[in-house]
Every structure is written in structure tokens, then in C-alpha cells.
Amino acid sequence: MRILVVDDEKLLVKGIIFNLEHEGYEAEGCYDGEDAVRLARDSHYDLIILDLMMPKIDGLEACRRIREFSSVPIIMLTARSEDTDKLIGFEYGADDYVTKPFNIMELKVRIRAILRRVGAQGQRAPVELLCLGSIQLNLAERSASANGRSVDLTAKEFDLMELLMRNLGRVYTRESLLNIVWGYEYPGDIRTVDVHVRRLREKLEKNPARPEYLLTKWGVGYYCKADANQGNT
């Protein structure tokens, strides 16, 4: 697996690369947002670790530009710890967030969790389609389509939609979705789930303001309902 590490702190980049290579990953680094976008466009990576505060363009803008052409998993690094900063990162397409200073073991755990979920361990998954109305998820290719067009989903968006489509009618609380989809006892704000659901509706629903498939059980959580004609709950 190839991982790109992007941070303007060169010693930090070298340290992360050293630890990743020790784990068997192929890693390389760069030091500003513009190079990150260029490398992400020109090369294949299984995951990108992207710092928030960088020269030329910051991590949020780099993340936004990468999302225009790639759904590669992105972990944001930042010295900020405010929940609003994390929510903005998720809005721009980040899959996870690590606040500096961090323990390298925590970063490794999060990397493994994301790669495990996107099938980056080299195991061939059986071809399987999940269908819900006009929405299709191809589990082998990790691809999605809706209303007859291809849709780019981030790793966490795909995992969240897959879980709900596999369990039609089952309502999940925000807390349970954080723990199941993020793969560990996630310490973040439960509004993270709301951000991802809103983005999924914008990408998959014909009318995100009146969703047919990805529904809300008010006061409880979210679910997918096979019979779209029954509407929202």
C-alpha cells in the first residue's frame, strides 16, 4: 500500500514515513498543498495523510481539490482541536482527523482501520451489488451510482451507506454509527454523522431536502427504507 504524507514540518514527515515503512507500507512525502494535489492526481495512493496548516494552499483546500478527481481516503492532521474545525474538514471530504501532538500508534491504528474498510489489504472481495431504488453500491469495486450516473463517495461515506443498505429498516443512533463505521471508540463530535448523511443525500438523492432512501427517525438516528413511497419518518 502506498501512502502520501503531506506536512510542512519536514522532520515530522520523515518520522511518519519511517514508522510507516517499518510497518511495511510504501510511503513518500511532500511539504505543501499544491504538491499534494499534483501527486494525488499523477500517482496512485491508497491513503493520504494531510496537514491542515501548510504554505501555498492549506490542507482544507488541498482536500477539496483532491475530492474533485479522487475518493482516496484522507486523514487530516492539525494542531487545532475545536469541533468546528473537524466538521469543516469532513465537509471538505476528509475521512478522519488526528490532532497534534499525536501518538504514532494512534495514527497507525486509524490507518489500518481505514485501509481495512476500503479493501486495501489486497484481498479480492466477491462481486456484490447492493441496490436501493436508483442507488447501487458495488462492494468489490467500492463504487457507487445513483439516478443512472456514477457518484464518488469517500471511504467513510461508502461505509456508512453500505451499513445502512445492508440493514434496511434498522435505525442506528449517531453514537452507534460512529463506533461501527469509524471502527473504534471514536472520540469525535456526533455531528460528524450528520455531516456525512447530508453529503450522502446531496450525492445520492434526487432531492436532498426530501430524501427518499436515506431517512431520519427523529430523536433516534438514521436508516434506509426500501419502500421510498412511504417517505420520511
Residues 6+ apart with CB under 8 A from 175: 190
pLDDT one-digit tens code per residue, 48-68: 999 998 888 999 999 999 998
Helices (H) and strands (E) in the chain, counts: 8, 12
pLDDT one-digit tens code per residue, 63-105: 999 998 998 999 999 876 666 667 777 888 888 888 888 888 8
Average the pLDDT over 168-189 and give the result: 77
- Would you state the cell numbers that stand for residue 209, as one nine-digit string? 431536502
Contact 183, 165 (CB under 8 A): no
pTM: 0.66
The overall average pLDDT reported for the chain is: 86
- State the first-to-last Cα distance of the chain, in angstroms, to the nearest integer: 42
Is the predicted pLDDT of residue 219 greater than 80, yes or no? yes
pLDDT score at 34: 95
d(CA 80, CA 94): 15
d(CA 117, CA 112): 9
Q: Is 16 exposed, middle or buried (0-12, 13-18, 19+ CB in 10 A)?
A: buried
pLDDT score at 97: 86
pLDDT score at 114: 87
**Which is more confident, 195 or 106?**
195
